[in-house]
Amino acid sequence: MDIIFLRNLKIDTVIGIYDWERRIKQTVILDLEMATDIKKAAKSDDIADTLDYKAIAKRVISFVEESEYKLVETLAERIAEIIVNEFKVPWVKLSLNKIGAIRGARDVGVIIERGSK
């Protein structure tokens, strides 16, 4: 198994359970690891033969910017579903960081792994 990754993808969105959080956009940071087989792409040197991480990033950015979830858990789950289902990725590891959510802590968030069934 090979892995294509995106790290430190920063996106502004409405996220949170408190009234003040529902009125502003906050930055979340995503790290993605996606399973794929790069052998065909390495041989052909053709983008059509690999996982197009730019297309994935554009789709995720668009989705997250338009979302208004209360929980980071829900947002992470929906992003993973998009990656697995729309891009036919057999396995994804997703870290979603809601920076500054807890006073005294730089980072807080979730890490999930999902795969196709």
The set of catalytic residues is 98
* Contact status, residue 3 vs residue 35, Cβ threshold 8 Å: yes
- The span from the CA of 77 to the CA of 117, in Å, is 15
**CA torsion, ordered 72, 98, 86, 58, to nearest 10 deg:** 150
